[in-house]
Amino acid sequence: MGKAVYVDFLGDALKDGSYIVALEPEVVGRGLEAVNKGFEVGKKRVRAKKVVVSLP
């Protein structure tokens, strides 16, 4: 099921708009050094958002 969803379906569905991500992402930083900041943001002030730390 994983390949059917994540490889065969999800990429194209996101591109053509037939699948919409439910939560708005909030990017809090880049790299492993931003992980702690991501946890802190998530604990303190984020509601109905996805806290994201981008990894290179």
3-state secondary structure 8-56: HHHHHHHHHCCCCCCCEEEEEEECHHHHHHHHHHHHHCCCCEEEEEECC
Q: What is the pLDDT of residues 4-47, one digit of tens each?
A: 888 888 888 888 989 887 788 889 999 999 999 988 888 886 56
The pTM (predicted TM-score) of the whole model is: 0.50
* Eight-class DSSP state of 33: G
Residue 56: which pLDDT band, with cuts at 50, 70 and 90? confident
Domain assignment present for residue 29? The answer is yes
Inside any domain, residue 36: yes
**Which of 44, 40, 37 shows the shortest CA–CA distance to 53?**
37
Task: Note whether residue 34 is domain-resident.
Answer: yes
Instruction: Please tell me the total count of domains within the chain.
Output: 1
Q: Could you tell me which residues are beta bridge partners of residue 24? A: 49
Q: Residue 3 pLDDT > 70, yes or no?
A: yes
Q: Determine the structural domain holding residue 53 and report its residue range.
A: 21-56
> Has residue 7 been placed in a domain?
no
pLDDT, position 46:
59
Residue 32 included in any domain = yes
Residue 37 lies in a domain: yes
